[in-house]
Each structure stands twice: as structure tokens, then as C-alpha cells.
Copies of this chain bind each other. A is one copy, B any other.
């Protein structure tokens, strides 16, 4: 067949493909026409070779292990749970291995394991370990994992399709995929129609299956909801789950997770229905969401662990490998995405991965550019957001995150105006993340621990103000969902990068404003972190501002008298019951400082409230009968009784300890004499000294032309 002839036939097939019902296989991440090129690419491009080798190793492992489709019994981390997870990975990897190697044994594995599932699936009841408040699955304890299973499995099936004979396909489709579609859309209808990441996975599974099996009815349901009226379904989810800045309200950890079904279904739609231009939908929203996911990481690759987050999670996770590959290949070939792909050191063995691998090999990559930016939350981007301040190179970057986003649904923490601070590739003021040992069966089946609620979600677990030893909204998630902080201003003018936000509902009768800035001072090596937390109230309150920190305490302006014995919990409730009080000191009105050595650098935090205050040194672990809490330490600035209160602090990152060469430089902070000159609803005027030069620092909440002045 000559090339022209091929082209004509190919064009013909493409035009007819979806609309006329002639299905091409495979047609999702790998399309048939690119198989030869990917095979060649594996020879030519190291990252593609390495990625394929991993895929093939797993596929060979699958063949070696043989097929195991156990009756679903265990919760997260348990045997049947992990086996069914392994199975879907095996199925996908065998599908890829079949396409690349052409060796039918991989397709046979898929055929055989799917026949095995098809022989059992209809007999499986709802999972015995399902839990109240979670829609149970049939393969896994929660339906979410079933959806994920199908998103992977249907790709493997698509990849092996042409090697499975029609009769077996019929068995598989009739006794596995059709019952699955029915389960996903009917039994799980509520989830299917919910604007929520579980819903996205359900929709993606149904939509992809619909395309692969050529079931337009299911495709339409996936796109427009089970009523096909567009009120729910995929497009409604794109409209409603992300802000215009591409932020997903549950936070980065869940944004990453939510992203995969969005983009993989988008890729499927784009292949089958290119005229939809799905990647252009809502002003290229999916591209924004991928980029925003990357902006929601520190330079280590770790996602900002706000809300219920597993702290080890990085942009190396599979979701972002898909995201980066598709963003580069199918949306816009930004060369800085190649930097991320290189650090991921992996591509999806696919049409998109081929493009990435080719571009890396051609040396097209440019360093990833981290932005100082405000990322708005909410449908129209006005329901608060995240303020991210960055300074320095990708190898030694200061980064401040102020969380002024909305509650973020069920996985939200009660940490309005929370601050995270990173420097020198480590956490300086960390967030605890979730209280959870993911996939550790012995720790509550890998699920959230009770301490997630009693500790991790509580306000005092975060670097933000606690009023009267209670948590924001008294930990009422529904109430919290009704209100969000307001951005006052965001500024990025080079010398001053600042974010200012207000929260007025979290504590009734208390108006809170936080203005946090990275400020460059002549004569200092690095910007200083100026943090001004103001609370205004007509009533007296106890105000506690904790700074959870990493590192070792090495200096303080006041004598610390560590409590020697009979350590007591700081309080009875709202997270305070989990905190040990290690020391409590009185600091005079002029303020003081505390210095910490962390990753060979000093962090000295100077502070004043303009009146005498207590500084409490804290560690985590009280009332923890199962010993599930992870070591954490804080110093807490505490004002027992005040109506209006400003907490003014400056954290200087300075000096260097080289333990290998045994040298120390710059151990002393250059900051001193913090003063609160005046503070009211309109303005806070402050001053401080750097090496004996006095600076006036004024925050104007209302004057748009003079939001921050430094003189």
C-alpha cells in the first residue's frame, strides 16, 4: 500500500471514526498511528526508554506472578485492596507492553484477567469493609477506588482490544464493563452527579468506557450528567470545580488527584471528538489547572500540604506526569514544562510522552518558573485564594504561602489565614498536613485517623491565630463552607512581595487581618519575612499565635526554663489537648526573639505585640493513646486578654553552618527594635531596625495606592 493510499484510508477512518461508529484501537494515550514512532522513540530517547522499561518490568512481573482476582475483603493497604490495585496497573502496563513489543502474551494476560473479573464481578456484593459516609465499591472499600480501577483498566483493554477475539470481548463487555457502567451510573448515581472529585473519577471511567465500547449514551451522560441536561457531568465539573485561576478548592493534594480523570478524559474526548476542542474549554481551563498544580509546589516538588494532605506527595506523582505530558503535547509546548518532566524522570509511554522525550533530547528545556502570585478560589475567583510569595533561585528559594482560600469542602482544615514558610529546600514553618498513614493497614486501615479531626484540622495545629482556645467556626464544616476570607491586596513590586487578607467570620465578633511580606532590605543577603496579624474585637479574647517550626532552638532574647517534669497538656479541647507545654515565659512589651537552626541556616523570629505577652514552647503528643501523632514543635505568642491586638513579627533567614568544615558565619540576626506605632481598622504603622538603621513599615488596608510603605 503506498503512502497516499494509506493517508486516504486513514483520513476516511478518522472522519468516520466516532460519528459513524468504526472504532480505532488503541485511541487514548497511545493511538494506533503513533505506535511505530513510539517504538523508535524508545530506542532514541533515554527518558522514554527508562519509562518503557519500568512499564515492561511491571508487565513481565504480572506475567510471572500469574493472575490473582481475590474476592474483595480488605480495607486500604490490606491484601485484596493492594492486589486489585496491582491488577489495574498490570492491565495498563501489559496493554502498553503489547502495543510496543507486539508480543501477544501481554494481551493474553489482559484477556485472561478480565475474563476472570467477568466471571466474578456480577456476584460480588458491595464491599464488606465499606464505611458510613463513603459510597462503597464492589472491588474496593470505597467506590472511588473502583472508578480509578476502571479508568486504568479500560485503557489496558483498549490497548489489547485488537488481540482479543470477539467472543471473549463480548464476555468481558457483557459481564464486566456493562455491569460496571450500570454500577457507576445507577448504584453510584449520587456520586456520578456530584460536583466533587469522586464524581470526576466516576465520570471519567464512564466516559472513557463509553468511547472505547462505542456507547454514545454513556458518553453523553459522562459529559452532561445522568439527566443529560448539562447541570452535572464533565463540563459542569470543569465549570464548577476549578476557579478561573485553575485552583481546585480542596487544595493542592486533592487538586493533583482530581486532575488525572479530568485530563485523561479530556485526552480521550480530544481523540474521539476533536471538534469539541475540549482543551480550549473555559479559556483553556485544564491547562491552567495543570500549571496551577505545579505552582502549588515548593522547589522540592512537594505540594503545599494544606488541608488533608499527605506530605510526601510531589509532582513526580503519576497524575502530574500525565498532566505535564498532555499539557506539553496537546495544549501548549512550554519549554519550562520539560524541566518538570526531567525532574519527574518519567513520561507516559504514549503519544504525549514521545513528544516530551523528543524535546528533552533536543535540549529544549528551560528552568521552571515559579511565580509570586495570587491564586483565586471560587467559581469566579473571588472567594479568597492563596497568596504565594517567592524569592531566590530554584535551588535556594524562600517561599511563603498564605492560605486565605475558602473551606475546601470536607477535606478542608480550619486554618483561615494560615502561613507556611519554606527556605533553603526545607520547611521552616510547616503545616502538619493530614493525620493519616496512607495505606498502612494497621493505622486505621490507612484511612484518616481520629487525630485528623482532634488535631490536624484544628486551628491551633496551624500557623494562624487561635481565639479563646477554640477553632475557626467551632469546627463546623458546613458553616465554614458558607464563608471565605477576602483578599485585601496582593503586591509584587520586586522589593516588596506582599499578601494581605481578612477573615471576619471564623470567630464571631473578631475581625482578623494578616499581611505578610517578603521584603528586600539593602545590606541583607535575603529578604526578611514581615508578618503582621491584626485582630480587632469589641470584646476581650485570648489570642494565641503559634509558629510551628522545624529545627533546633539555639537562641532567645529571654531565659527559657524548660519544664523539668510532670509535663501537662496545654488545654482540654480543640487540639490543645494534644499539645505538651514545655515552657512558658513572660516577654516584656518591647518584644523579643527566638532563633532556630534548621538545615544549616539560622531563622530568627523577632516579635512584639506592644504589650507584655507569654511565649509558650510546645510539642505535640499529649492525649495520643495510640501514639499516632508525628513529632512537631512550636513557639506560641499568647495574649491572655485583649480586644484589639497586633502580632508583629519579622523572621530573618541568615548565616550558615557548615558541619563538615566546622564553620559558622552570620549567626547573629541583624534585626532589632520592633515597634507597633499605631494600629486601627484602616492602618497599621510599625518600625524596626536593621543594623541600626530604622525602617518605617506601614500597611494601609484601604488606600489602594499606598498599601505598603517602607521608608
Measured CB to CB, the residues of A under 8 A from B are 77, 82, 85-86, 310, 312-314, 316-318, 437-443, 446, 552-555, 560-562, 564-569, 580, 582-583, 595, 597, 617, 619, 621-627, 630-631, 657, 659-665, 667
| Contact A660-B317, Cβ < 8 Å, known A562-B627, A569-B565 | yes
- Name the distance in Å between A315's Cβ and chain B's nearest Cβ: 9
Inter-chain CA distance A583–B580, complex, in Å, is 15
| Contact A552-B630, Cβ < 8 Å, known A564-B623, A623-B565, A667-B440 | yes
Residues of B within 8 A of A560 (CB): 625-627
Residues of B within 8 A of A85 (CB): 663
A565 touches B562 (CB 8 A): no
Residues of B within 8 A of A660 (CB): 312-314, 316-317
Closest 10 A/B residue pairs (Cβ): A312-B659, A567-B567, A439-B664, A442-B555, A564-B623, A562-B625, A562-B627, A317-B660, A565-B569, A562-B624
B662 touches A438 (CB 8 A): yes
Residues of B within 8 A of A623 (CB): 564-565
Q: A443, A446, A627: which has the most chain B beta carbons within 10 Å?
A: A627
Inter-chain CA distance A617–B310, complex, in Å, is 26
Residues of B within 8 A of A626 (CB): 560, 562
A661 touches B567 (CB 8 A): no
Q: Which one of B77, B312, B561 lies within 8 Å of A625 (CB-CB)?
A: B561
- Nearest residue (CB) in B for A555 is B442
Q: A312, A657, A667: which has the most chain B beta carbons within 10 Å?
A: A667
B582 touches A621 (CB 8 A): yes
Using A440-B554, A631-B631 as known contacts, list a sample of 9 further A-B pairs with CB atoms less than 8 Å apart, ordered by residue number in A. A316-B660, A437-B554, A439-B657, A439-B664, A562-B624, A564-B624, A564-B625, A566-B567, A567-B580
5 A-B pairs in the complex with CB atoms less than 8 angstroms apart: A82-B663, A312-B659, A317-B661, A438-B657, A562-B627
Residues of B within 8 A of A437 (CB): 552, 554, 597
Residues of B within 8 A of A553 (CB): 627
- Name the distance in Å between A551's Cβ and chain B's nearest Cβ: 10
Residues of B within 8 A of A657 (CB): 438-440
Inter-chain CA distance A663–B90, complex, in Å, is 13
- Name the distance in Å between A548's Cβ and chain B's nearest Cβ: 14
Grouping DSSP codes into helix (H, G, I), strand (E, B) and loop, the A interface class, with mixed when no group exceeds half, is loop
- Name the distance in Å between A88's Cβ and chain B's nearest Cβ: 11
Inter-chain CA distance A661–B316, complex, in Å, is 9
- Name the distance in Å between A605's Cβ and chain B's nearest Cβ: 15
- Name the distance in Å between A278's Cβ and chain B's nearest Cβ: 27
Inter-chain CA distance A152–B352, complex, in Å, is 57
Inter-chain CA distance A552–B660, complex, in Å, is 28
Inter-chain CA distance A554–B619, complex, in Å, is 20
Residues of B within 8 A of A630 (CB): 552
Residues of B within 8 A of A662 (CB): 310, 317, 438-439
- Nearest residue (CB) in B for A77 is B664
Inter-chain CA distance A260–B39, complex, in Å, is 55
Residues of B within 8 A of A82 (CB): 663-665
B439 touches A663 (CB 8 A): yes
Inter-chain CA distance A312–B630, complex, in Å, is 23
B659 touches A310 (CB 8 A): yes
Inter-chain CA distance A567–B561, complex, in Å, is 17
- Nearest residue (CB) in B for A617 is B627
Q: A86, A312, A313, A662: which has the most chain B beta carbons within 10 Å?
A: A662
Residues of B within 8 A of A659 (CB): 310, 312-313, 438
Residues of B within 8 A of A567 (CB): 566-568, 580, 622
Residues of B within 8 A of A312 (CB): 659-660
- Name the distance in Å between A561's Cβ and chain B's nearest Cβ: 5
Inter-chain CA distance A179–B565, complex, in Å, is 53
- Name the distance in Å between A502's Cβ and chain B's nearest Cβ: 36
Residues of B within 8 A of A631 (CB): 631
Residues of B within 8 A of A595 (CB): 442
Inter-chain CA distance A151–B300, complex, in Å, is 41
Inter-chain CA distance A623–B310, complex, in Å, is 34
Residues of B within 8 A of A569 (CB): 564-565
- Name the distance in Å between A76's Cβ and chain B's nearest Cβ: 9
Inter-chain CA distance A582–B622, complex, in Å, is 9
- Name the distance in Å between A709's Cβ and chain B's nearest Cβ: 34
Residues of B within 8 A of A564 (CB): 569, 622-625
| Contact A621-B622, Cβ < 8 Å, known A442-B554, A597-B440 | no
- Name the distance in Å between A575's Cβ and chain B's nearest Cβ: 14
- Nearest residue (CB) in B for A317 is B660
A667 touches B77 (CB 8 A): yes
| Contact A622-B443, Cβ < 8 Å, known A552-B630, A627-B553, A659-B313 | no
- Name the distance in Å between A410's Cβ and chain B's nearest Cβ: 19
Inter-chain CA distance A242–B313, complex, in Å, is 48
- Nearest residue (CB) in B for A316 is B660
A627 touches B583 (CB 8 A): yes
- Name the distance in Å between A51's Cβ and chain B's nearest Cβ: 14
Residues of B within 8 A of A555 (CB): 442
Inter-chain CA distance A77–B555, complex, in Å, is 13
B665 touches A565 (CB 8 A): no
- Name the distance in Å between A654's Cβ and chain B's nearest Cβ: 13
Inter-chain CA distance A562–B451, complex, in Å, is 14
Residues of B within 8 A of A77 (CB): 664, 667
Residues of B within 8 A of A443 (CB): 554
Residues of B within 8 A of A622 (CB): 564-565, 567
Inter-chain CA distance A360–B568, complex, in Å, is 58
Inter-chain CA distance A446–B659, complex, in Å, is 12
Inter-chain CA distance A52–B630, complex, in Å, is 44
A667 touches B442 (CB 8 A): yes
Inter-chain CA distance A254–B213, complex, in Å, is 71
A621 touches B621 (CB 8 A): no
Inter-chain CA distance A437–B553, complex, in Å, is 10
A568 touches B565 (CB 8 A): yes
